Chain A
Amino acid sequence: MLELNFKGELSSGNKVQTVFSYDFQLTLTHTGITAFYGASGEGKSTLLRLISGLEKNNNGKISFKGTSWQDEHVFVPPEKRKIAYIFQDGRLFEALTVEANVLYGLGAKLNKIHKLNEHTSHWVENVCESLGVSAWLQRYPSELSGGQKQRVAIARSLISQPDLLLLDEPFSSLDQRGKAELLPYIERLTTKLNIPCILVSHSRYEIESLAQVGVIIKQGKVIAQDSILNLLTRLDLSLAHEEQSTSLLQVKVLEHNDADCLTVLSLGSQKVWIEKVTAEIGQLASIRVFSRDIIVSAIQPVESSALNVLLGDITEIEHTQSSKVLIIVNIEQQKLLARITRKSLNNLDLKIGQQVYIQFKSVSLGTCLFRE
């Protein structure tokens, strides 16, 4: 449980002094990944630095699990907060080997694995193994790629056994391949640790893939705080209005159809077909559907090539002046965001409360994300 309340100003920039004022009030109770989402320069990283104590603000309050980190009388320095902070650029100590880097958090004397006691060295080896960094222990950071450096940085943070994990745009310095490589490690790690994690990101793909709860930050203020599923389908927020807008549906793996190379997922009592994936039967997952890929029909479509036809009720319609409208369809108590043209809306005469059929091609599904 993290509670904070910061109000203040921050001047940044050397030549042109820009004063950035912020007002953050937040309570986080979630133990999984909470995402701070917003465009660059809206104050997400500032908030993270305030939480870590790297940025000092004299009129703020922050407490973690009932212990005050900062109030009128107390300021716990960052080194005593037991947090891990994954920076954009890895920030490995270039002069030290990977081994000395990952052991840095254990203290000055323990800079070699063989100096550790059995319990600790077991833990260290376990972490290094699961992040795939064991083979590089004797190398120097300059010999590693960007993604490899980030994995070492993550191993280093974990070995110190933090109570809170802060991830500041961990993928931003990586190319597409590096991102794809790192994503599963971060996912695995946060489930393994079972500590609260905060992920700062301006990429909706990252927050959709990793976070369960999102906090939307704009101009130094918290605009909304909700589950990712809800945030994506809230019409009052900009997420739903983005070109790449999506919604996530929670499903369960029902069966694999080898003959057609498809996997069948259950969405309540309805079914969704996707291209075959490797997953255990009964596993929970979420699927990503782009709002622009959805076809809405007022009557049940017949002889359509689209495999997925779901039945739902329209719960919200947002009328705009543009050619497109956004509608929310409630399918089995889950919200699906669809974007259709205004012309179609008028032609079909769609109304709130009306029952509609939703179609999307199975191949148009976004990445299938599996969650524990």
Chain B
Amino acid sequence: MYLSPSDLLAISVTFKLALLTSGLLLLISTPLAWFLSRWKSPFKPIVESLVALPLVLPPTVLGFYLLIMLAPDTLLGQFWYELTGQQLAFSFSGLVLASIIYSLPFVLQPLQLAFERVDQKSLECAQILGASPWRRFTSIVIPSTRNSFVLAAILGFAHTVGEFGVVLMIGGNIPGETQVLSLVLFDHVESMDYEGAHRLAACLVAFSMVMLILVYSLNRKTLRLSRFSFQSNVSEGIK
């Protein structure tokens, strides 16, 4: 049972994409989730709906709008072209951008939920003891939400690995650049190469299983104290 070179190339593209996306998403979502968890405004449901939209929208719809947005004649497309000399649509960078939007709720929501649960009393106490906002965040918020960060990263990573509709619309299926696992699998099925499809699909199942085992064993080992909240986070995050 061997994977073809094009399979391997797609796997490496996929993982590079998922890693970059989940990393960038953690950077973006942390302040955004913190803001949303504290924000009190009648407009909050609107903003929350907007960031949750990728959860319910068919990926092709998202992909379609992204395709239009990333086109070379748009502001964003032009800006990117002038900055890098490359066009955004049908490129790896475009794919990263699309994945960030597509996977945003999977990273944002567990973090927001966790931040909302951070004990306000401890934060006040730290503030009285002279801790700056940054120190309060690093010494109180992060330790008590560590598990949610791990969960958010894994969910973001796994969801990016599994994306299909969006990359189909804006990726262009270029091997080594935008051809990801799910597209190669689709190609195998299209060309009646069921054997190749089986191999790749089995790999994906095994990978997903490993990821989940990782989540749950990590949960048990280092996060024993807050296991209950972690599990409820998992189910809420998936919802």
Contacts and interface: CB of A to CB of B under 8 A. Distances in A.
Interface of A: 52, 54, 77-80, 82-85, 87, 89, 91, 93, 95, 104-105, 107-108, 156-157, 160
B121 interface: yes
Nearest to A103: B129
Interface string B121-134: 11011111111100
Nearest to B125: A91
A54 B125 CA distance: 10
Nearest to B129: A105
B85 interface: no
Contacts of A80: 130
Given A108-B135, A108-B139, A93 B122 contact: yes
B128 A54 contact: yes
A84 B128 contact: yes
* Chain B interface extent, by class: 10 to 19
B143 interface: yes
22 contacts: A52-B128, A54-B127, A78-B124, A78-B127, A79-B127, A79-B128, A79-B129, A79-B131, A82-B130, A83-B128, A85-B125, A87-B121, A91-B121, A91-B124, A91-B125, A93-B126, A95-B144, A104-B126, A104-B129, A105-B129, A156-B129, A160-B130
Contacts of B129: 79, 104-105, 156-157, 160
Contact of A87 (B125, B135, B138, B140): B125
Interface string B19-50: 00000000000000000000000000000000
Given A79-B132, A108-B135, A91 B122 contact: yes
A91 to B, nearest CB: 4
Interface in B130-180: 130-132, 135, 138-140, 143-144
Contact of A89 (B121, B128, B143): B121
Nearest to A111: B139
Task: Name the residue in B129, B135, B140, B143 with the highest tally of chain A Cβ atoms < 10 Å from its Cβ.
Answer: B129
Nearest to B124: A54
B128 A104 contact: no
Contacts of A83: 128
Contacts of A52: 128
3 A-B pairs with the lowest CB-CB distances in the bound complex, closest first = A105-B129, A91-B125, A85-B128
Interface in B50-89: none
B154 to A, nearest CB: 22
Contacts of A82: 130
B125 A79 contact: no
Contacts of B132: 79
Contacts of A156: 129
B144 A78 contact: no
Contacts of A87: 121, 125
A101 B149 CA distance: 24
Contacts of B126: 93, 104
A120 to B, nearest CB: 15
A196 B84 CA distance: 63
Contacts of B122: 91, 93
B50 to A, nearest CB: 26
A95 B143 contact: yes
B121 to A, nearest CB: 5
Nearest to A105: B129
Given A78-B127, A80-B130, A91-B121, 18 more contacts: A54-B124, A54-B127, A54-B128, A79-B131, A79-B132, A84-B128, A87-B125, A91-B122, A93-B122, A93-B139, A93-B140, A104-B131, A104-B139, A107-B130, A108-B135, A108-B139, A156-B129, A160-B130
Nearest to A78: B127
